């Protein structure tokens, strides 16, 4: 793999013919999270050796980006299985994407491509949970629980049925299969995504007006907004939002 830096991204050529693009802010993001975890562990588990605390904090800081990368690798594997040729995987601290020049040619292929990312996360989440149950109390169990929680959240949030999220690509595949009309299926899946977004925002408003603040309100509001603005944003940005597809 050859590394080089282009327009804010480091690129690596993967053996399968695609490139991994990593934004320069990713290591800073991981380092910031690691520092946060190290400080928390110094307060909560002072009996651990400094070396154990540091290595645990470093792994914990890298977990979110590693989970996002795993998600995209799920898409890459599925893309190659269904005859697509992925060109790039893009990783930034707050978004990741797999870029392929062509669309899947059948609803079943689209569904396989869409579900592979969340499936990779949910598979790892189950494995990490089993590891946490077997492990003795300590850093390994803590990291396994964190990996399980993160990957469950990532897998499920991507299944919200609003394009361009994977759940939205899944409903597009379903409507395409049901109607035989790809363009109609796209309009239907976008309309469904906006209905889901409106409903989630309605639930968030009900939570807020009942005086309930906290995690559930934040999740409902974020999921609702993502579902509402996602389709418009995806149309505006096009299939290659970072413009990396055919960069030399
Ligand atoms: Zn995905």
CB 182 within 8 Å of CB 109: no
10: helix, strand or coil? strand
Ligand 1: centre distance to CA 36 (Å): 28
Give the pLDDT confidence of 156-200 residue by residue, as tens digits.
Answer: 999 999 888 999 999 999 999 999 999 999 999 999 999 999 999
* Å from CA of 135 to ligand 1 middle: 30
**Per-residue pLDDT, 1:** 37
Q: 227 alpha carbon to ligand 1 midpoint, in Å? A: 14
68-114 confidence digits (pLDDT tens)? 999 999 999 999 999 998 999 999 998 899 998 888 999 999 999 99
- Alpha-carbon separation of residue 39 from 53, 60, 93, 247 (angstroms): 9, 12, 21, 41
Alpha carbon of 184 to ligand 1 centroid (Å): 22
Q: How far apart are the CA of 183 and the centre of ligand 1, in A?
A: 21
pLDDT tens string 105-160: 999 999 999 999 999 999 999 999 999 999 998 899 999 999 999 999 999 999 99
Pairing of strands 88-91, 19-23: parallel
pTM as predicted: 0.89
Q: Quote the tokens at residue 53.
A: 């605390």
Residue 145 phi, psi (nearest 5): -65, -40
pLDDT confidence bin for 58, thresholds 50/70/90:
very high
Q: How far is the CA of 68 from the centre of ligand 1 (A)?
A: 9
Strands in the chain per DSSP E: 3-6, 9-13, 19-23, 88-91, 96-99
Cα 158 to ligand 1 centroid, rounded to whole Å = 6
Q: What pLDDT was estimated at residue 2?
A: 39
> Measured in angstroms, how far is the CA atom of residue 228 from the centroid of ligand 1?
18
Distance, in Å, from the CA atom of 122 to the CA atom of 21, rounded to the nearest integer, reads 24
CA of 47 to the centre of ligand 1 (A): 40
Residue 14 phi, psi (nearest 5): -85, 155
Closest CA to 124 of 61, 81, 66: 66
- Quick one: tokens of 201? 């925002």
Q: Tens digits of per-residue pLDDT, 7-40?
A: 789 999 988 889 999 999 999 999 999 999 999 9
Check pLDDT > 60 for residue 44: yes
- Report the Cα–Cα distance between both ends of the chain, in Å, rounded: 15
10 compared with 231, residue with greater pLDDT: 10
Give per-residue pLDDT as tens, 62-73: 999 999 999 999
Burial class (CB in 10 A: 0-12, 13-18, 19+), 1: exposed
| DSSP three-state, residue 68 | helix
Supply 240's token pair. Answer: 């290659």
């Amino acid at each position: 793999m050859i590394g080089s830096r282009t327009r804010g991204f480091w690129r690596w050529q993967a053996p399968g013919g695609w490139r991994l693009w990593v934004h320069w802010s990713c290591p800073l993001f991981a380092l910031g999270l690691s520092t946060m975890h190290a400080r928390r562990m110094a307060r909560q588990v002072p009996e651990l050796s400094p070396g154990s605390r540091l290595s645990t904090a470093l792994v914990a800081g890298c977990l979110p980006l590693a989970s996002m990368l795993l998600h995209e690798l799920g898409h890459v594997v599925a893309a190659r299985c269904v005859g697509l040729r992925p060109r790039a995987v893009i990783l930034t601290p707050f978004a990741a994407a797999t870029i392929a020049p062509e669309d899947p040619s059948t609803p079943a292929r689209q569904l396989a491509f869409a579900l592979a990312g969340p499936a990779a996360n949910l598979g790892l989440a189950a494995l990490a949970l089993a590891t946490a149950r077997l492990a003795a109390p300590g850093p390994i169990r803590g990291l396994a629980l964190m990996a399980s929680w993160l990957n469950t959240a990532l897998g499920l949030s991507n299944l919200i049925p609003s394009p361009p999220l994977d759940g939205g690509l899944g409903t597009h595949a379903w409507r395409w299969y049901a109607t035989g009309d790809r363009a109609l299926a796209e309009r239907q899946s976008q309309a469904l995504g906006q209905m889901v977004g409106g409903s989630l925002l309605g639930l968030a408003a009900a939570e807020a007006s009942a005086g309930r603040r906290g995690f559930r309100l934040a999740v409902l509001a974020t999921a609702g907004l993502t579902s509402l603005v996602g389709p418009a944003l995806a149309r505006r940005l096009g299939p290659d939002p970072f413009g990396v597809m055919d960069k030399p």
